[in-house]
Amino acid sequence: MWWAGVGWRGGDVEVAAVDAAGAQTVPATGFAGRDLPALIGLLHGVVARSAERLAVVLDSSTGLVDGHLLAAGLTVYRADPPLLPGRPPDASVPAADLARRGAANPAALHRLTVSSGALAGREDDYLDAIARSATVERELTGAGRYLARGSGTAPEIALTFDDGPHPGFTPQVLDILARYQVPATFFCVGINVAGYPELVRQVADAGHLVGNHTWSHPYLPDLGRDEVLRQVDATAAALRTAGLSTTLVRPPYGARTPEALTWFAELGLTTVLWDVDTGDWSVPGTAAILDEAATATAGSVILMHDAGGDRTQTVEALPRILEDLLSQGYRFVTVDRFVA
């Protein structure tokens, strides 16, 4: 078995590979955020020229690529902080270190699948952090700095899309929204904003709202204060370069801690979650996405995705979702409508 590590450094996604003994076979190579197809091509090339199977290792601060790697047919694992050296500022664990960790101790890794998502094996930790956040959530809701759904006093629903922009799927989503004259809110990942500023501008020019979804889509409970703030600050800077600004932030996976929520509020940011998860991130089939969207009620915030993996099913389901909810008399609004 050969092992590849995929991480991030600044605005680049980095890859390196080693053989079963840990000897380097592919030196650390960086790809700009918009060049993810070239990175995947490199990995497929490694598979083609070697006689060994290849597995890819990520750390929990690199959540922007696992869905794309899995959609490309690659085997993907996650290594957690206890197994790894510390992360440098503004980067994940280096790709070569991730690859060597896979070769040295594969049994300690968590295998990821499209249906499990990037947090496979960490469900208890995830739920515990959310439970600990409840008191702070109530306090911030009263201050207008936390939102999971609107009041429900008007027949309004907010449709949201995470993880973009993506050159293939974001334009398709925008075309459908334009056809039905529906506004939405797009929570964008910073590396993708830096890679595709023209797409972010296209989202805003079409009348949609843009929010901050961190720089590299990390699992925030694994990050310290400085790392969390770098994630949102770097994304805000990329948005400013595209001529945009936002006071809305959405933590990846909805994973939050009382501390992270407080840090966001101290920056003047409002944390936006959701009450309806269509589950499109797990590629469950168009019918399943439609069923989940149908549970929306007045004030709902619906979670969907325009990037982060194969979003063909999202694009297929979206017209039906809009038609069904519009036929029930709902109006679509951007999430700022629900912020106190």
pLDDT greater than 80 at residue 37: yes
Taking residues 10-30, report their average pLDDT. 94
- Annotated active-site residue 44? The verdict is no
* Confidence at residue 191, expressed as pLDDT on a 0 to 100 scale: 96
Mean pLDDT estimate for the chain? 96
* Confidence at residue 27, expressed as pLDDT on a 0 to 100 scale: 94
Topology annotation, domain 2-112: Nucleotidyltransferase; domain 5 (3.30.420)
- Reduced to 3 states (helix: H, G, I; strand: E, B; else coil), residue 81 is helix
Q: Is 27 exposed, middle or buried (0-12, 13-18, 19+ CB in 10 A)?
A: exposed
Beta bridge partner(s), residue 276:
302
Taking residues 151-158, report their average pLDDT. 97
Task: Show me where the domains of the chain are located.
Answer: 2-112, 133-338
Taking residues 316-330, report their average pLDDT. 98
- What is the full DSSP assignment across 224-286? -HHHHHHHHHHHHHHHHHTT---SEE--GGG---HHHHHHHHHTT-EEE--SEE--GGG---H
Of 66, 162, 163, 280, catalytic: 162
Taking residues 281-291, report their average pLDDT. 98
Of 12, 275, 305, 306, catalytic: 305
130 and 121 Cβ atoms separated by less than 8 Å: no
Percent of the chain with pLDDT over 90: 96
- Annotated active-site residue 305? The verdict is yes
Instruction: Compute the distance between CA of residue 36 and CA of residue 200 in angstroms, rounded to an integer.
Output: 18
Taking residues 192-205, report their average pLDDT. 97
Instruction: Compute the distance between CA of residue 334 and CA of residue 320 in angstroms, rounded to an integer.
Output: 19
Band (51; pLDDT cuts 50, 70, 90): confident
Band (57; pLDDT cuts 50, 70, 90): very high
* Confidence at residue 312, expressed as pLDDT on a 0 to 100 scale: 98
User: CA end-to-end span of the chain, whole Å?
Assistant: 54
pLDDT greater than 80 at residue 253: yes
pLDDT greater than 80 at residue 340: no
146 and 137 Cβ atoms separated by less than 8 Å: yes
* Confidence at residue 33, expressed as pLDDT on a 0 to 100 scale: 87
Q: Is 35 exposed, middle or buried (0-12, 13-18, 19+ CB in 10 A)?
A: middle
pLDDT greater than 90 at residue 5: yes
DSSP H helices, the chain, are: 36-49, 66-71, 95-104, 123-132, 134-142, 169-180, 190-195, 197-205, 225-241, 258-266, 286-293, 312-327
* Confidence at residue 49, expressed as pLDDT on a 0 to 100 scale: 82
Q: Extract the tokens encoding 297.
A: 């009620």
Across 150-163, b (16+ Cβ under 10 Å) vs e yields: beeeeebbbbbbbb
Question: What global pTM score does this model have?
Answer: 0.97
What are the distances in angstroms from CA 330 to CA 128, 178, 209, 336? 35, 17, 19, 17
* Confidence at residue 52, expressed as pLDDT on a 0 to 100 scale: 83
* Confidence at residue 50, expressed as pLDDT on a 0 to 100 scale: 80
pLDDT greater than 90 at residue 337: yes
Instruction: Compute the distance between CA of residue 85 and CA of residue 80 in angstroms, rounded to an integer.
Output: 10
Pick the CATH number of 133-338 from 3.40.47.10, 3.40.50.620, 3.40.109.10, 3.20.20.370: 3.20.20.370
pLDDT greater than 90 at residue 242: yes
* Confidence at residue 48, expressed as pLDDT on a 0 to 100 scale: 87
Band (99; pLDDT cuts 50, 70, 90): very high
